[in-house]
Structures are given as structure tokens and as C-alpha cells.
Amino acid sequence: MQNGRQAVPLEKSYLLLNHGPVTLVGSTHDGRSNVMAASWVMPLDFDPPKVVLVIDRNTLTRELIEASGEFSLSIPCREMAAQVLAAGSLSGRDGEKASRCGLEFFAASCVAAPLVGDCVAWLECRVIPCRDNQDRHDLFIAEVLAAQADPAVFSQGRWHFSDDCRRTLHYQAGGAFFVTGESFDASEQAPTGG
């Protein structure tokens, strides 16, 4: 919670997810809130911005999203990897999960689903209902209603990681992550094509 937050224009919000980072999905309904880790999330459209997200039918998060029609995506960073792993391992059905994972919620601006503190970016999403996708594929399509980022790592539509602890994460398997690595501009490289 000690880091900054700045609104990201909606038309630039896809840039928060474009590189494929791990997310934390926040949800709430009827007095119960939950957080889970999700890698299977990506942008779907620019304007209005939309995302797709896969949420297993056996999770508490699924139940809360189906009931509320809303969720949040918080993008965690390297210094939070152990907490992200816990959020991907523990079940919200076994009692309040965020604090057990060492994560702290704070209020979103447009949805009731909570955001996760200490992350580097946040998106607030409303489900566009599609029973067939949800029932057959565990796939949710949602519109992004609001987005924020820590201006120390994302501003003017660009990520700029200086502190390695604040780099975003990409999940592999079995507790292993990649850190988002070096940035480079390929348009400055001579094309080798003929």
C-alpha cells in the first residue's frame, strides 16, 4: 500500500496485460471476498477494453464472480512471488485467504471486488455474460471499467522497471516463475528479411 497509484487511460489499459504477466483475481459477494492467482488472462479488445480470463469451476473465485458479475485483476511483482504462489495454492473455501497469503485488500473505484496492495497495476472488470463460454470452457469475457498503475513502473503507456523487485512475473509451473526481463526496441534492429 506504500506505493503510488495513478489512473491509466482505458484505451491504454491493455498494455498492462499485453506482455502476459501473472495476475491476482479479486472477487467478492455477499460478505465473502477472495483472491486467487491466474496466468490465463489476456486482453481481448482495445475500445472498449475487454479481457478474457479462465477460472476453474471448482474455485470459490468462480462462485463469487458468477454471483457478482465482477472481478479485479491486480498485477503482482517479484517481491510478492511467495504470496502469489500461496494465492495459487490455498483455497478460499478454507477460510479468509488474503491474509493467510500475506496479501492485503483495498477498495476498487468501480467494482465491489477488492484490489490487492503492493501490486504494480490494477484493472476493474465487469463480466459480459456468456453462458456457453462459462459453462463449456470456464472462460469469462469482461469489460475493463477502470485501470491504475504505480507510476514508478508504468506511465505514459509504458512499463519502465528500474527496481528489480517491482518487475512483473510470468508463471511456469511447480512454483517457478520468470521475471519480466530486459526491454528492447526491435524497430532499431536492421531487419534481416529480403
Which positions touch a copy of itself (CB under 8 A)? 15, 18-21, 39-45, 50, 52, 54, 81-86, 99-103, 130, 132-133, 137-139, 141, 157-159, 167, 170-194
Question: Least distance (Å) from a copy of itself to the CB of residue 78?
Answer: 8
Which residue, 29 or 167, has its beta carbon nearer to a copy of itself?
A: 167
CB 32 within 8 Å of CB 82:
no
Report d(CA 105, CA 94) in Å as an integer: 18
Report d(CA 186, CA 26) in Å as an integer: 35
Q: Where are the beta strands (DSSP E) in 8-167?
A: 23-29, 32-38, 41-46, 49-54, 70-75, 105-106, 115-116, 121-127, 139-149, 154-155, 158-159
Q: Nearest to residue 39, comparing CAs of 52, 30, 49? A: 52
Q: Nearest to residue 146, comparing CAs of 194, 112, 95? A: 112
Question: Least distance (Å) from a copy of itself to the CB of residue 93?
Answer: 17
Which residue, 61 or 112, has its beta carbon nearer to a copy of itself?
A: 61
Which residue, 29 or 114, has its beta carbon nearer to a copy of itself?
A: 114
Question: Least distance (Å) from a copy of itself to the CB of residue 159?
Answer: 6
Place of cell 472481478: 71
Question: Least distance (Å) from a copy of itself to the CB of residue 169?
Answer: 9
Which residue, 31 or 193, has its beta carbon nearer to a copy of itself?
A: 193
Question: Least distance (Å) from a copy of itself to the CB of residue 81?
Answer: 4
Which residue, 84 or 115, has its beta carbon nearer to a copy of itself?
A: 84
